[in-house]
Structure 1
């Protein structure tokens, strides 16, 4: 019997090893299936949300400033992000935030400019007024047309969110971290004055606090410019937060919120194409529209500086790869005039 004991121990060890391997294989298979199901679920959810939130423009699939419709997989494009002052869930009313971004496919780069809501512009069919009123007068199409006329560039795509989406998305991600430059109080999303109080310093903001931080203007010595910077800071913080691995389990809540409170003219394929720009998110080139505070008939406006507006227009057009025919013609005329 003594001679058989080592073989018995060896068989037992082999049996235990096989059981462990089988257990690992079974657990691995279960994990693989669960992961596949999770990925499949999010793919289905993403596709469903994209379809439910998609809304075409009256103008059709291309801007009047384009000869043909663009393809994000191949072309440089522009996107107008709009935050709508809406409490009824209809995505109507004035725009509290307008941020225009251009994406250069070859460079993989992004340029962004925040348009102050009180900017005095020409709104087609309504004369000169604050740009915030364009959406209230004629919805998404008129807001886009106004921005196109102001900056002389095509707006290819848009994303429109209301207050509810903004709040719920940030809450679903457990808040965003920002550096509050000074203490202030602001109304909440229901219009209750002084309901939100923020102290100076770096802190984590919930949805209501982040909305107040993005909306406040009168207590900021830089007015609309300061608010534009804070809105861009919130967007950057939100992108960083949503990109972290720890936020993956929150995506379902985010998608549920977005589905009910957002509209866009992107398809699922369009959205997937933005993966190329993932590395550029933290290094967005921000352009500032300069101007001055004015009052006409007692009403406050932000008077855009023509030279600054033209400079940013040229920079965005160059980033989009659009040849400026006016500049080319002027150069040709100058060259001909100087020729003997």
Structure 2
């Protein structure tokens, strides 16, 4: 029984690290490892959340928006609401149900064609370039009619350091491919062990696939699951030196909103204490495939029915049921 409790604790820490971001992980693990990790995690200079009318807040469940970019840039640039010159490379919405029994992580295709408040229609990733974190939050909230409770900007180049501190992670590729984005890296069909720059090549590649960004998103999900599995195994969080290195690597790659304090993080971590790796569902917001905008851009078309259903499921805290019913989980 004692060993089972230790395993569950390792799993809950791993889930927190991955889906509520390293600041929350630090809150959960800080009782075990007193490090300088907190100085590595940066907070946004200003409040990124929209003022005025917003979707209603949930009483218990929470939604965390992960914005992946090749660089965290200057905090004032991405938090202030003005142009940043950067496009978000990855968008993931993490839903934390009120009961703490499971977690859903939904990827949003970066070329999804959506209304961008104050800017007409555009690719969802353009919101970050046009108005930083605040406009990205407004755009996702308008798309799903759901309130975002917390936000984090993740430098996905940090994946390289993250995976290296764990001794590499296992990812699954449906087909063999050679990276074009980072030449020299080859991957076989099936399980691949990746670390460092090889891990970065795996999560960045899209040119090698017929469906381009769709497979890249699936690869990112596979990588996150690999990290989760590695952390949750018998040795993942047993080595405190490894934990310190992992937290340091992830912390240096993340910027969070000021509301994601250690106290708040610890409460979330406690709520997720019983979550196992198989309780975390990764899936992608369904679309109607590729198309062309009126101005000639290659875009991803909204599946408005699916968007409405998922928005409703998020508001009613039934997203897990929706995922199970539609068999969209990508494991």
Q: TM-score range by the shorter chain?
A: 0.7 to 0.9
Q: Measured at CA, do residues 292 and 61 of structure 1 come closer, stay the same or move farther in structure 2, by a change above 3 Å?
A: closer
Aligned to 2:250: 258
1:105 aligns with 2:101: no
Q: Give the CA deviation at 1:79.
A: 0.6
In 1: Cα distance, 2:48 partner to 2:224 partner: 28
Greater Rg by CA: 1
Aligned to 2:224: 235
SS at match of 2:60: coil
Tell which deviates more after alignment, 222-231 or 167-176. Answer: 222-231
1:150 aligns with 2:146: no
1:80 aligns with 2:74: no
1:216 aligns with 2:216: no
1:291 aligns with 2:303: no
In 1: Cα distance, 2:245 partner to 2:261 partner: 21
Aligned to 1:201: 190
Aligned to 1:11: none
In 1: Cα distance, 2:261 partner to 2:52 partner: 16
What TM-score results when the alignment is normalised by the length of structure 1?
A: 0.71
SS at match of 2:167: coil
Q: In the alignment, is the contact (CA less than 8 A) between 1:57 and 1:140 conserved in 2?
A: no
Q: Measured at CA, do residues 138 and 87 of structure 1 come closer, stay the same or move farther in structure 2, by a change above 3 Å?
A: closer
Number of aligned positions between the proteins:
274
Unmatched segments (≥5 aa) in structure 1? 1-37, 322-340
Q: Give the CA deviation at 1:115.
A: 0.2
Q: Give the CA deviation at 1:100.
A: 0.5
Unmatched segments (≥5 aa) in structure 2? 1-28, 79-83, 320-331
Q: In the alignment, is the contact (CA less than 8 A) between 1:54 and 1:267 conserved in 2?
A: no
Q: Measured at CA, do residues 270 and 43 of structure 1 come closer, stay the same or move farther in structure 2, by a change above 3 Å?
A: farther
Aligned to 1:330: none
SS at match of 1:111: strand
In 2: Cα distance, 1:114 partner to 1:212 partner: 19
Q: In the alignment, is the contact (CA less than 8 A) between 1:121 and 1:150 conserved in 2?
A: yes
Alignment RMSD (CA, Å): 3.0
